[in-house]
Chain A
Amino acid sequence: MLTGISLTVPSDERMLETVQVFVESVGLAGGVASDELTSLSIAVMELVRNGMKHGNSMNPEKPLVIRADALPGRLSFQVEDTGCWQPDRDMGYRPGEGAELLDVRGRGILIARNLAKWVEFDLTPEGKTRATLIWPLT
C-alpha cells in the first residue's frame, strides 16, 4: 500500500520531467493501468506547473510538494505550493469560445479535470494553496 509518499522540488521548469517520472512511477506501483499512466501524469503535471507558476512565481527557492496516497479504489495526489492564489477565480474555466480558443494558456485546469474527473482546490492550515486530484483505479 502506497501511503505518504512525497516529493519536494524547487519551482523550476527543469524539474518537470523528474516530477512526471515520479508521478508515473507512483501510478504504476499504485495499480494505474499502463495505458492510463500518461493521462495521469498529464493531469497531475498541469497542477504542478500551475503551482510553480502561479503559486510560487517560478522561484526556485520556493518548494513545491507533491504527495501521493493510495486509498481504497483510488489514488490521491496533492500538490502544495507556497502561494495563496485561487485557481478557480484566477484561472476560470477555459477554453471558452471564439477568439478565446486561440489563447496560448489557460487550459491546464480544464485538462486536469477532464482527465482525472475529480480535482479540487483548498487551502492548507497554513493558508497555502493545495490541489487535490483523485484518480480512480479501474
Chain B
Amino acid sequence: MKIHEENKGTVKVIRLIGKVMSGPDLMEVKTAFESAVNNDFKRILVDLGGVSWMDSSGLGVLVSGHTTVSRAQGKMVILNATKKIHELFIITKLITVFDTFNDEIEALAALEG
C-alpha cells in the first residue's frame, strides 16, 4: 500500500493506493491522520479510489482517523470509495458515520461548508 499526501488550501488530502490490509502499513495511515491534525489540518479528504482491497482492519483505521479528526473539532470525508468498499460501509453501518463522495470538487466543498 502507498500513501500520497497533498495540501489543497486548508484541506489535507490523503490518498491510499493498493491493498489496505492489517500490518505496519496501517500504522502509517493512522500516523498520517494524527500528523495532519497535529499540523492544524482540521479538514481531511481521504481518497480511496486507488484501493484495490480492504478488510476490517482498513475500516478500523478509517474509523480511528475519523475519531482523531472529530476530537480536534475537524471534519473528514471519504472520496471515491469503490463499489466493494461501499458494500463494506453498508454491512458495518459505517455508511452512517462517513460522508462519502464520488466527486472531488463536491468533497472539497463539503469540507469547506
Contact = CB atoms under 8 A, between A and B. Distances in A.
A38, A104, A110 interface centre (most CB from chain B within 10 Å): A104
Contacts of A20: 19, 21, 53
Contacts of A101: 63, 92-94, 96-97
B67 interface: yes
Contacts, number: 68
A107 B60 contact: yes
Given A13-B23, A102-B63, A111-B88, A38 B93 contact: no
B91 A114 contact: yes
Interface of A: 13-14, 16-17, 20, 38-39, 41-42, 45-46, 49, 94-95, 101-105, 107-108, 110-111, 114-115
Given A105-B60, A110-B91, A45 B55 contact: yes
Contacts of A16: 21-23
Nearest to A58: B22
Contact of B21 (A17, A107, A114, A115): A17
B2 interface: no
Interface of B: 19, 21-24, 52-57, 59-61, 63-64, 66-67, 84, 87-88, 91-94, 96-97
Nearest to A113: B91
A42, A46, A94, A101 interface centre (most CB from chain B within 10 Å): A42
- Name B's interface SS: helix
A104 B91 contact: no
B63 A103 contact: yes
A4 B4 CA distance: 42
A95 B92 contact: yes
A42 B53 contact: yes
A13 B21 CA distance: 9
A105 B23 CA distance: 14
A49 B58 CA distance: 13
A134 B58 CA distance: 24
A21 to B, nearest CB: 10
Given A95-B94, A102-B66, 10 more contacts: A13-B23, A17-B19, A38-B53, A39-B84, A41-B53, A101-B63, A101-B92, A101-B94, A108-B55, A110-B92
